[in-house]
Structure 1
Amino acid sequence: MTYSGVVRAGGPADVHELTDLMISKVSVGPMDNNSYLLRCRATGEQLLIDAASEPGTLLRLIGEDSITAVVTTHRHADHWQALAEVVAATGARTWAGAYDAEGIPVPTDRPLQDGDVVRVGRVELTARRLVGHTPGSIALIFDDPHGHPHVFTGDCLFPGGVGNTRKDPEAFASLLHDVETKLFDALPDETWIYPGHGKDTTLGAERPHLQEWRARGW
């Protein structure tokens, strides 16, 4: 089946099958957050990105193979509501951006710095700190050796713009700068973007609108 990235709360996961990695995307309520289960195809090891809500839904998605870690993209509460229950059920380690860890009530086992490598089995992802939506938001980049990059952006980049910076010009400028320099300037148009809410996109689809975002200020 062709992956669309279109999911809805209460509905099934959509699975993106890559050569080395399987990415299962599910939406959980009440704010239609996206959670992503990453599975190394060589080893079967699994990692969850954002235990946002509905621990039962997430634990069914994880299945009997369990997970080794949960990465929380940022400190906002809608992205960690199920974290404590998922960790209790799986024994997974917790990872989050070093500058957001204090805002997450479940202790962070591994605070991530910009450029740190996150491993799931034989697959490596690179953490990039994006400042503005929160002080320590992170994106995770999988540079697929068999294709194009795949990036999990939390609430920092969506179809149509960067994340909410609460009408703070300094925060907006910071977030746009980091998204431009660490994502748009570093990665090709084919790069697939998996956001914290809603539909997926690509850098190529969003790149023509960067000046429009800068002009409107959000």
Structure 2
Amino acid sequence: MTYNGDVTPGGAPAVRELDRLTVTKVSVGPMDNNAYLLRCHDTGEQLLIDAANEAPRLLELVADGGLATVVTTHRHMDHWVALEEVVAKTGARALVHADDADGLPIPAEPLRDGDTVRVGDCELEVIHLVGHTPGSIALLYRDPSGVPHLFTGDSLFPGGVGNTEQDPQRFGSLIDDVEHKLFDRLPDETWFYPGHGKDSTLGAERPALPQWRARGW
């Protein structure tokens, strides 16, 4: 079945098979948060992006493959409700950007811009995007056999950047980071996976960048 990234709370996961990595997307309630389980084909190692909620469901997704790492994209509570339980039951490492570490319910290892997070033989680049929160991050996987894959948390969605609560300084920081660190660096075919809702590509969103900047959100 062709992956399109459309998931609903309580619905079936969407599974995307890449050459070296499997990406499983699931939506958890009550706020329709996306969580992403990445599994390295060669080693079987697994990494979870955002243990948002519904710990039993996430643990069922992990199954008996074990979980090495949980990366939290930012400190907002709807992205870590299940973190403590998932880490306690799997022994996974918890990682978050240093500037958002104080917002999590458990201690987490600090990440910084440019760091590399491994899942088996695959590498994810940490990209710091300041504005939605001080320590928001995206994770970039450069598929050697295909297009780049970008997990953007709440910093980039189809139709605009993340919520900056009508703060001009925060919006300016986020739109600058998203434009320069993502759109300026990565090709149009880059597929991105946000913290809520549907996926998109940078190419589909690129023409609207001037409109986003002009409207201020």
Normalised to the residue count of structure 1, the TM-score between the two structures is: 0.99
Once the two structures are superposed, what CA deviation does each residue of 1:10-66 show, in whole Å capped at 9, x if it has no partner?
011000100010000000000000000000011100000000000011000111011
2: distance between equivalents of 1:144 and 1:47? 16
**Equivalent pairs: percent with the same residue?**
67
Matches within 5 A, 1:128-207: 128-207=127-206
User: Aligned letter for 2:45?
Assistant: E
Secondary structure of the structure 2 residue equivalent to 1:187? coil
Match of residue 84 from structure 2: 84
Match of residue 210 from structure 1: 209
Match of residue 104 from structure 1: 104
Match of residue 3 from structure 2: 3
Displacement of 1:212 in angstroms is 0.2
User: Aligned letter for 1:27?
Assistant: S
1: distance between equivalents of 2:127 and 2:173? 14
1: distance between equivalents of 2:105 and 2:165? 23
Match of residue 33 from structure 2: 33
1: distance between equivalents of 2:7 and 2:72? 20
- The answer on 1:73 being equivalent to 2:83 is no
Normalised to the residue count of structure 2, the TM-score between the two structures is: 0.99
Any stretches of 5+ residues in structure 1 without a counterpart?
A: none
Displacement of 1:191 in angstroms is 0.2
Q: CA RMSD in A?
A: 0.4
2: distance between equivalents of 1:168 and 1:61? 38
Displacement of 1:166 in angstroms is 0.1
User: Aligned letter for 1:9?
Assistant: P
2: distance between equivalents of 1:4 and 1:128? 24
Moved beyond 6 Å, runs of 4+: none
Displacement of 1:93 in angstroms is 0.5
Displacement of 1:84 in angstroms is 0.4
Any stretches of 5+ residues in structure 2 without a counterpart?
A: none
User: Aligned letter for 2:84?
Assistant: A
Secondary structure of the structure 1 residue equivalent to 2:127? strand
